[in-house]
Amino acid sequence: MIAHLSGVVSAVGPDQAVVDVGGVGLAVSCTPTTLATLRTGTAARLATSLVVREDSLTLYGFVDDDERSLFELLQTATGVGPRLAQAVLAIHRPAAIRRAVASSDVAALTQVPGIGKKGAERLLIDLKDRLGTGPDTGSSSAPRGSSVPPGEPGWRRSLMQALLGLGWNPREAEAAVHAVTPQAEERIERGDSVEVGVLLRQALSSLDRL
């Protein structure tokens, strides 16, 4: 298992970063919030989890060991794979996830793209006795990116924070989010999941045209 990596960030994209470790560029899949903490040309340390499939090896990166542990624990629940576990962490901080499970907060979990009411209920059952309190004891249960009004959808909060972290100013970020909102709402109306990484690519493309 690759527990963590340290190196210089050589590239940051919509859904992954490349970190130069000993002359080898490692592609690491990250949430928009994690990507927002990285800067090209600067040193970084990421906790990591390697997911092995028959046809692929995917390295997932996190801001700390607690996020990595929760990512792995989420996958022990029925129907939760690495992508969905990553989506949960893109919307909620670890402490907020633990509180949601402890209080059976279905509404909090359904903020995550790809989790409906039945999926949230199943997740609560599977994780009820598995989650500890963790090191994060902050009192806020707000999703990541809570500088955006709390009534905003989870995908919008994550997208705004990612754009701001990539260096766009608030006005530009808001314009880009507005540009991709119709696509997001269309997917929601069809009952499809909203993938923040896909929206981020579309938002960056719209910024190039501004």
Residues 132-147 have a mean pLDDT of 48
Give me the domain span that covers residue 55: 4-62
Whether residue 45 sits in one domain with residue 76: no
Tens digit of each residue's pLDDT (9 = 90 or more) over 106-138? 988 888 878 889 999 999 999 987 776 555 444
Whether residue 76 sits in one domain with residue 52: no
Domain total in the chain: 3
Whether residue 90 lies inside any domain: the answer is: yes
146 or 163: which leads in pLDDT: 163
Contact between residue 141 and residue 127 where contact means Cβ atoms under 8 Å apart:
no
Least Cα distance to 69 among 150, 165, 1 occurs for: 1
Whether residue 78 sits in one domain with residue 106: yes
Whether residue 103 sits in one domain with residue 78: yes
Whether residue 110 sits in one domain with residue 71: yes
Contact between residue 196 and residue 83 where contact means Cβ atoms under 8 Å apart:
no
What is the pLDDT confidence band of residue 155, given thresholds at 50, 70 and 90? confident
Whether residue 69 sits in one domain with residue 58: no
In angstroms, the CA 82 to CA 59 distance is 10
Give how far the C-alpha of residue 148 lies from the chain's centroid of Cα atoms, to the nearest Å: 16
Least Cα distance to 134 among 45, 46, 69, 50 occurs for: 69
Whether residue 148 lies inside any domain: the answer is: no
199 or 70: which leads in pLDDT: 70
Most confident of 65-79, 127-141, 193-207: 65-79
Whether residue 195 lies inside any domain: the answer is: yes
Task: Write down the residue that tokens 């903020």 correspond to.
Answer: 111
Which domain CATH number covers 113?
1.10.150.20
Whether residue 141 lies inside any domain: the answer is: no
pLDDT at residue 151 above 50?
no
pLDDT of the residue at 114: 82
Whether residue 74 sits in one domain with residue 57: no
Mean of per-residue pLDDT scores for the chain = 83
Whether residue 34 sits in one domain with residue 72: no
Which domain CATH number covers 11?
2.40.50.140
Q: Domain boundary residue among 127, 144, 169?
A: 127
Where are the alpha helices (H) located in the chain, listed in sequence order? 32-35, 65-74, 82-91, 94-102, 106-109, 117-127, 154-165, 170-190, 196-209
Whether residue 147 lies inside any domain: the answer is: no
pTM confidence score: 0.68
Three-state SS for 203? helix
pLDDT of the residue at 132: 61
Whether residue 75 lies inside any domain: the answer is: yes
pLDDT at residue 67 above 80?
yes
pLDDT of the residue at 152: 55
Residues 131-159 have a mean pLDDT of 55
CB-count burial class (<10 Å; 0-12, 13-18, 19+) for 56:
exposed
Whether residue 100 lies inside any domain: the answer is: yes
Whether residue 76 lies inside any domain: the answer is: yes
Q: Domain boundary residue among 12, 44, 62?
A: 62
Tens digit of each residue's pLDDT (9 = 90 or more) over 3-61? 899 999 999 888 899 999 999 999 999 988 888 888 899 999 999 999 998 888 999 99
Cross-strand bridge partners of residue 56: 53
Tens digit of each residue's pLDDT (9 = 90 or more) over 167-184? 778 888 888 889 988 888
Q: Domain boundary residue among 62, 94, 112?
A: 62
pLDDT of the residue at 145: 45
Whether residue 88 sits in one domain with residue 56: no
